[in-house]
Amino acid sequence: MPYKMRCVGVLALFLLVVSSEAFADISERLYHIEIGVDGGCGYYAGDAERFIFQDIREAYGAGIRYQLDRRWAVRLKGMAHRITGYNPNTAGRADTRMGMWTNQMVNIDAVGEFNFFPYGRIRYDRRISPITPYIALGIGVGLHDKWKKASVYVPFIVGLKWQPHPRVVIHAAWQNNVYFADNLETVSEYNNRYNMNGSNIMNCDVTGQLVAGIAFSFLQYKLVCRTCK
């Protein structure tokens, strides 16, 4: 047998053994912590843009999740994205794209997550599901205007996550951030133009992200033998 064919055969056998070992004790591998990355698109809605998903731009970030139990988790995440809109003196013109403002943002938020189904990868317990929709709510801060300003917001998230392997989680999420401010545009005509900051939630700016991501699990649960004495 040629040398290259033997190498391929050995490599295939090695991968088969490793994968078999990984899934053989699938019921024993439960983890507390997930670390992952996200990527997708972001948008802004406020005085310059009234509707979501207008002038969407790239969004990307990373986060860490701590599983409290099968239903609840807490997560800390950072996301960078760019928001854009029209300057007031160019609205309604054919060349409005030449008069757009832009603002690079970094969102840092902490949320509590609730899984609709008991979540995990345990083949001997049909009550535990490897796929579940989830919602999350928390508090965050957005850094913007060349990191000179910080605005507090409330993030609300609707998502779906799937665990194809005990150490791999794939998810998709839609996050909306409602700010306690009206100052994301960096344009004086738009920033708190009605002097209602803090008194009317309808005057606040909103940003959001539609992303997909992958995470890897660490810190295995301590296994307990319930029948041992």
Please state the pTM of the whole predicted model.
Answer: 0.75
Candidates 128, 131, 121; CA nearest to 29 is: 121
Highest mean pLDDT among 15-29, 123-137, 161-175, 197-211: 161-175
Q: Which amino acid is at 41?
A: C
Residue boundaries of the structural domains of the chain = 3-220
Q: What is the pLDDT of residues 70-80, one digit of tens each?
A: 899 999 999 99
Q: What is the pLDDT of residues 89-99, one digit of tens each?
A: 655 444 445 56
Please give the C-alpha separations between residue 214 and each of 10, 91, 124, 227, in angstroms, as whole numbers. 30, 40, 25, 36
Tokens coding 134:
């989830």
- Range with the poorest average pLDDT among 10-14, 60-64, 210-214, 222-226: 10-14
Flag whether pLDDT at 134 surpasses 90: yes
Question: Per CATH, which fold does 3-220 belong to?
Answer: Porin (2.40.160)
